[in-house]
């Protein structure tokens, strides 16, 4: 008897259960054997996060002006993750079927004791603080994975046969400090402040564990002087200055994660040398590591004029010395990097903040505010081993006299109109006949011959279509010339409107996200429509090289670290707009309310920037790393008080 898709062996019609049929066994150019919908249905993922926070304090006042205070706070975060990956489609097919579980606990505790005393004797006002603080951090991690599922539907380790991975570790960190501060003013006209800290960190060896840091500041309220009494248009005029040191023990490894034991040698265990058990270095000790010190100088003028204009103009300078940095090492050392204290860097600039009450009467008020920051960064000193050639860190190069934020990139020229090749400025200082030899920095004849095969000359400039022979050079800075914000506030009777903007001008950003979307080797991923502008025939003028999937071509034009991917980080962002309405008290009295305010807030309504999809606010390094644009949020709220 003939049967078919809808007939059983007896020729009777069968019912269609109506379940989805997933196609994950076909042949695709990309992600073969994957199906996002099927994996979402067949896999299981469970995440549990429990955050427990507590705080308590005790204050005693044995005599007037004297307070004894103890504060204790604790924060415990338990996080558990269980992930099951099915044996049919996706990553779990290699098991077949697998289960992994991760558990972490983060416990932080802070305990401080404070003694404060304030006293006024005539025009002399004193405020004294003495204190001690202890901070502890503990992080526990446990992870396991088993494969080869026995029966379906049971998501526990006992249902899986083979142990694929099992690991755990604990990190601890402690910091302790003793500190004191004295504030003094005379008649609220002359001010002085002095502070001192003695801090210890478990990240340093015992010989360098403690650091001493101090600061002082002075102030002069000029507007309180007798000679200013007749200057009616000056409401406030104050000059202040400060100088001080702070310590930094925030040590990061090459991955940007905290490094808790850089002064100790650590080993990775369980590795084999042939058939013999073995270990290898993961960290090489640096017992001479010490606190990074930041020395800050600030001078500011605060003012209020004409009962309308207020503002601050401030000069700042921060010298950071003994920088804590993860320095790359040659392979012969046995580790890729070692944490060291290196060099000295200076940040300096000017910050201006203004606020102006433009108009105010019985019904209306209008005011505006703005701020701007101008900052420069300069490397003042590097270790002797880095003075001549500097130190390359990713897309940056550290060199005395330069900035740690200056890009060091291969120089992109453009697209050859005749061939569609991507062209770079050739490194003629290295690849020339005068450098052929056997000494350090020289090249061989064969290297020079290979270089010449890639060279074209356009408008008298020697260019190369090979990324290998491109010239490196400093290529602008990720620090903007100026950044800041401004706001507008308007009210009419019971209505009010406030808009807040932020901006940035003058910096550069290395858009590696855009570089990935311009790749010619990826399938099944989002790509930029700018690829449609690619070179097609001789004579085409474009900034996008020809589409050619040959290995040599894609390697030469697909690299992220070239000036091709530099773009302006200028932006103007409307951060928020709030419209509010204060309900009349005559209405509220009828429902026994003191006040009620209705408000509507919209955040990130628009951003003007150099490239669609670019988030120039993402980070200060000037390199994009899969950041999303700020989310647009709209919130409606009602605030009431009884």
**pLDDT tens string 575-615:** 999 999 988 887 777 777 778 889 999 999 989 988 877 77
CB 55 within 8 A of CB 70: no
147-153 long-range contacts (CB < 8 A, ≥24 apart) are 147/94, 147/95, 147/96, 147/97, 147/98, 148/95, 148/96, 148/97, 148/98, 149/87, 149/95, 149/96, 149/97, 149/98, 149/99, 152/97
3-state secondary structure of 563: helix
Say which DSSP state 477 is in. E
3-state secondary structure of 638: strand
Q: How far apart are the C-alpha atoms of 148 and 366, rounded to whole Å?
A: 70
* pLDDT at position 549: 74
User: Which residues, 6 or more positions from 180, have their beta carbon under 8 angstroms from its beta carbon?
Assistant: 128, 129, 130, 131, 195, 196
What average pLDDT score do residues 534-549 get?
90
Out of 21-30, 92-101, 123-132, least confident range: 21-30
Please give the distance of CA 199 from its chain centroid, rounded to a whole number: 26
State the first-to-last Cα distance of the chain, in angstroms, to the nearest integer: 83
**pLDDT tens string 342-380:** 889 999 999 999 999 998 898 899 999 999 999 999 999
Q: What is the 3-state secondary structure (H, E, C) of 63-81?
A: CCCEEEEEEEEEEEEEEEE
Please give the order of strands across the beta sheet that includes 412-415: 412-415, 422-425, 461-464, 455-458
User: Which residues, 6 or more positions from 628, have their beta carbon under 8 angstroms from its beta carbon?
Assistant: 615
**pLDDT tens string 410-434:** 999 999 999 999 999 999 988 888 8
- Count each helix (H run) and each strand (E run) in the chain, helices first: 5, 29
With a cut of 70, say whether residue 627 has pLDDT above it.
no
What average pLDDT score do residues 433-454 get?
83
In terms of pLDDT, which residue wins out, 218 or 466?
A: 218
Provide the H-helix boundaries in 454-522. 512-517
* pLDDT at position 515: 86
* pLDDT at position 23: 65
In terms of pLDDT, which residue wins out, 537 or 436?
A: 537
Give the other-Cβ count within 10 Å of 635's Cβ: 11
Say which DSSP state 6 is in. T
pLDDT tier for residue 209 given thresholds of 50, 70 and 90: very high
CB 356 within 8 A of CB 309: yes
With a cut of 70, say whether residue 626 has pLDDT above it.
no
Out of 196-200, 220-224, 607-611, least confident range: 607-611
With a cut of 80, say whether residue 629 has pLDDT above it.
no
What average pLDDT score do residues 222-234 get?
91
What average pLDDT score do residues 486-502 get?
95
Highest mean pLDDT: which range of 289-293, 442-446, 594-598: 289-293
Q: How far apart are the C-alpha atoms of 527 and 522, rounded to whole Å?
A: 9
With a cut of 70, say whether residue 466 has pLDDT above it.
yes
CB burial of 527-546 (b: ≥16 within 10 Å; e: otherwise) equals ebeeeeebbeeeebeeebbb
In terms of pLDDT, which residue wins out, 252 or 310?
A: 310
Please give the distance of CA 246 from its chain centroid, rounded to a whole number: 22
* pLDDT at position 555: 66
Peptide bond into 96 cis (omega under 30): yes
Segments making up each domain of the chain, as ranges = 410-641
* pLDDT at position 30: 67
What average pLDDT score do residues 314-327 get?
92
What average pLDDT score do residues 186-199 get?
96
User: Which residues, 6 or more positions from 100, have their beta carbon under 8 angstroms from its beta carbon?
Assistant: 82, 83, 143, 144, 145, 146, 165
CB 386 within 8 A of CB 398: yes
Q: How far apart are the C-alpha atoms of 61 and 176, rounded to whole Å?
A: 26
Q: Which two tokens stand for residue 182?
A: 């004295």
**pLDDT tens string 43-67:** 999 999 999 999 999 999 999 999 9
* pLDDT at position 1: 44
**pLDDT tens string 102-154:** 999 999 999 999 999 999 999 999 999 999 999 999 999 999 999 999 999 99
Strands (E), 453-494: 455-458, 461-464, 472-477, 482-492
Mean of all residue pLDDT scores within the chain: 89
What average pLDDT score do residues 156-161 get?
95
Strand partners, 291: none
* pLDDT at position 271: 64
Q: Which two tokens stand for residue 459?
A: 């408008």
Residue 241 to residues 238, 301, 317, Cα–Cα distance (Å): 10, 9, 12
Say what percent of the chain tops pLDDT 90.
60
Say what percent of the chain tops pLDDT 70.
90
User: Which residues, 6 or more positions from 163, have their beta carbon under 8 angstroms from its beta carbon?
Assistant: 144, 145, 146
């Amino acid at each position: 008897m003939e049967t078919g898709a809808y007939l059983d062996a007896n020729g009777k019609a069968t019912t269609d259960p109506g379940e989805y049929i997933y196609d994950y066994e076909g042949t695709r150019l990309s992600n073969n054997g994957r199906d996002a919908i099927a994996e979402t249905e067949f896999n299981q993922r469970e995440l549990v996060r429990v955050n427990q926070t507590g705080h308590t304090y005790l204050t005693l006042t044995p005599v007037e002006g004297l307070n004894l205070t103890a504060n204790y706070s604790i924060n415990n975060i338990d996080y558990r993750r269980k992930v099951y990956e099915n044996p049919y489609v996706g990553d779990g097919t290699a098991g077949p079927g697998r289960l992994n579980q991760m558990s972490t606990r983060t416990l932080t505790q802070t305990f401080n004791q404070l003694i404060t005393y304030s006293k006024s004797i005539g025009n002399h006002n004193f405020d004294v603080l003495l204190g001690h603080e202890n901070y502890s951090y503990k992080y526990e991690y446990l992870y396991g994975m088993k494969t080869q599922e026995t029966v379906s539907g049971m998501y526990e380790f006992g249902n899986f046969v083979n142990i694929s991975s099992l690991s755990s570790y604990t990190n601890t960190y402690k910091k302790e400090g003793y500190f004191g501060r004295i504030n003094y003013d005379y008649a609220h006209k002359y001010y002085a402040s002095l502070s001192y800290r003695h801090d210890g960190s478990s990240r340093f060896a015992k010989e360098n564990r403690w650091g001493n840091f101090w600061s002082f500041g002075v102030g002069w309220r000029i507007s309180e002087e007798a000679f200013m009494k007749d200057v009616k248009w000056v409401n406030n005029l104050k000059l202040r200055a400060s100088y001080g040191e702070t310590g930094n023990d925030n040590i990061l490894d090459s991955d940007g994660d905290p490094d808790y034991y850089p002064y100790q040698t650590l080993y990775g265990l369980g590795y084999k040398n042939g058939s013999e058990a073995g270990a290898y270095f993961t960290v090489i000790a640096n017992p001479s590591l010490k606190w990074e010190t930041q020395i800050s100088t600030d001078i500011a003028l605060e003012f209020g004029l004409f009962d309308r204009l207020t503002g601050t103009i401030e000069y700042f300078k921060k010298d950071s010395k003994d920088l804590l940095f993860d320095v790359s090492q040659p392979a012969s050392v046995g580790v890729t990097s070692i944490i060291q204290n290196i060099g000295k860097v200076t940040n300096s600039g000017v910050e201006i903040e203004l606020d102006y009450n433009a108009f105010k009467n019985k019904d209306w008020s209008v005011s505006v505010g703005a701020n701007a920051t101008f900052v420069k960064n300069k490397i003042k000193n590097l270790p002797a081993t880095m003075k001549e050639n500097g130190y390359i860190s990713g897309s940056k190069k550290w060199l005395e006299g330069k900035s740690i934020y200056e890009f060091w990139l291969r120089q992109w020229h453009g697209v050859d109109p005749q061939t569609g090749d991507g062209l770079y400025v050739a490194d003629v200082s290295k690849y020339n006949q005068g450098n052929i030899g056997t000494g350090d920095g020289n090249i061989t004849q064969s290297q020079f011959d290979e270089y010449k095969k890639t060279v074209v000359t356009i408008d008298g400039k020697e260019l190369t279509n090979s990324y290998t022979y491109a010239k490196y050079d400093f290529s602008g800075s990720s620090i903007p010339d100026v950044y800041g914000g401004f706001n507008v506030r308007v009210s009419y009777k019971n209505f009010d409107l406030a808009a807040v903007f932020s901006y940035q001008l003058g910096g550069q950003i290395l858009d590696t996200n855009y570089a990935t979307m311009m790749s010619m080797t990826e399938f099944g991923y989002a790509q930029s429509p700018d690829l449609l502008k690619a070179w097609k025939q001789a004579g085409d003028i474009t900034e996008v090289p020809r589409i050619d999937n040959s290995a040599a071509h894609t390697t030469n034009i697909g690299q992220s670290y070239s000036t091709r991917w530099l773009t302006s980080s200028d932006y103007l962002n409307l951060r928020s707009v709030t419209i509010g309405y204060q309900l009349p008290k005559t209405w509220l009295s009828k429902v026994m309310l003191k006040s009620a305010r209705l408000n509507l807030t919209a955040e990130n309504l628009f951003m003007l920037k150099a490239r669609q999809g670019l988030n120039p606010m993402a980070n200060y390094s000037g390199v994009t790393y899969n950041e999303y644009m700020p989310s647009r949020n709209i919130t409606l709220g009602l605030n009431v008080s009884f």
